[in-house]
Chains A and B, each alone.
Chain A
Amino acid sequence: MKERIGIFLCECGPNIAEKIDLDKVKEALEHLPNVVIVARHKLFCSLQGKEFLKESIKENNLTRFVIAACSPKQHELTFMIVAEDAGMNPHLFQMANIREQCAWIIEDKDEATKKAILYIKAAYKRVIYHESLDKKEIVANPDVLVIGGGIAGIEASLALAGPDRKVYLIEKTESLGGKIKEFDEVFISFKNGQSIIDERLERIEKEDNIETRLQAEVIDVKGFLGNFIVIVKTGDSEEKIQVGAIIVAIGFELINLSQLKGYGSLDCDDIYTGLEFEKMKKEGKITTKSGSVPKSVGIIHCIGRNEVGYCSGVCCLSSIKFSKYIQDKLPGTNIFEFYRDLTLPDKAYQKFYENIENKGVNFIQADDIKIANEKGLKIKYNKNKSTQPVDMIILSPAYVPAKDSNSLAEMLRIPRDDSGFFTEEHPKLAPVNTSAEGIFIIGCAQGPKSIKDSISQAHAAAGKILASIIPGKKLEPEVRISYINEAFCIGCQKCLNTCNYGAIYFDNLKFISIVNEVLCHGCGNCIASCNSSAIQLKHFKDIQMHQEIIEILR
């Protein structure tokens, strides 16, 4: 079939018409091979403009067209829709930006006109090599795998499970509930941790669509958004679970105290970590090892902050909560809170702190803390110039990533930060997504945070899944993606490492790389890495780009 190409010149009101001699432009284009129409309009993005464009495409039986107007960022989508309405594949047109790149930046009308002609000719050359790209639809499994049965994993599971969506909740210990069930009270609602979990366990019990696997672990993950295949090992048995999305909610651990240096003696009697102290409170027995009631307690914040290189964001609050525990249970006890920088990042926290402080807790700012055991426990600070003897010490150690983070990250092919926590897709705009589509990170697996923020993230991940993997609805992946020419691929595998989305895998049998069409975002990284030019990006193929560039440089 003979090509019939249209070129459309937008005046953009006075924006283009006054700065570029469009008659001259028209003249320069009319005689190009296969060009059957060159037409101008006051404003192609207006209703009348779009209608005119649509009718011109139809009347002239155009096979491709170029529109010279503004930035494609502004109106490429507008004209794609017009092309579709006119019955043409939306990828068979090209925009030439003669407004931002010509009219708006060049004072001299002749110069601007010349450049505009060059740009439009380049777009014309390019569009000749455009190919139809058809939308694809893939069936997506709505079921979800949640790894980690702490409060974040539980909340996400409850939010997602329903008649059309099954949730598999995988927990490596013998019970659900994670760390929170160890907490006698959680800030800032002061509810009992165990009853929070019990209430949710009851709901899980009643929910037919949550399948819990205890003492289980994920040992293999294959597949991609909408179609993951996961092998879960429970005891000696292995099962294959198919899901459309995966949520990682494996929580945190406290930094191992034996790793810490510079605090003096941390392994003496009557020194407890926050979690150990929670247990004492829960059992209702706050006593020293010798069985006596402590008359004075030192609570030390920021344990291990220097080592991990971040503030865990919650230890100040839980430390202050420990003061409350002591005030509640053992009124009259002298309490000393040693802090570096009080971190109280929410509307409710300052009041809580002030209440506790007003009841007689001593807050001491100190950057250098040393613990000595010389005839009883002593906290030294202020360059050893000040000393506070106490009967008991509670440490608030930093939150660190859960032990399995590394192996899980490798299995799921998701990156981790310098800190070891899983990396979100974007620190502002996509906090619970990962670079692997369909895999989400929530709670302290993503970074140290409060229960309130963990819960929000759990629901956020659930929200993203509910909105994107809808039962009965197919996914429509991006069509401008990479593809690999099998004949040219030499199997060097360089592209595998450049892909941020885990979209390229290696076929050992054929000894070539293969692009997963669902996962590829069309970023183009792999193309630059390919020595043999085996990889091409649809709609940005070498020939398309070269033709455009050659014409511009002419």
Chain B
Amino acid sequence: MNESPDTNGWEDQIGALLDGELTDEQAISLRAAAEHDPTLARAIDGAIELRQIMSKIPAEPAPRRLRKQLRQIPRQNRVVDRSGFLQLRWVMASATAAIAVTIAISQMWPQGPTDAQITQARQEFNLVLAYLARANRKTSNSIRLNIGHGFAGPVTKNTVRIISNQFGLDKE
């Protein structure tokens, strides 16, 4: 991997940038550094994308203290693992996994389905009913065919005979 070993030092600043906690000078300095450091630029882009995804999730944000603790995890392991960007990735991966679980729960939880989801389920249900109707048509056609070959002839012949007798048609 060709990540910059300096990326470790930027983690807090990226977090602070997204939280709007950097001064103008610090923000300009960070952006200037990103122009010369593709790894840093990717880290910022990734963090922004993640923040955008999180903003679309209908869930309460994690407590500030927890986010701070998450940001501190790579720092605690810095001595063991020097690939700082990799650590940032794992923090982001953990956060994304947490978002994923939130999405899954919000989709399954009783308070969850939106009008659009209910409408879609209704359309899907209609499609199932359409297939049921088609199977029903096939079976009823088959039954009609069987009746036609087996019973329909005698039944219709008898009916015609009875009606004919009633009205004396066979005498004419």
* A and B are partners in one complex rather than unrelated chains: no
Q: B residues engaging A (CB < 8 A)?
A: none
Q: A residues engaging B (CB < 8 A)?
A: none
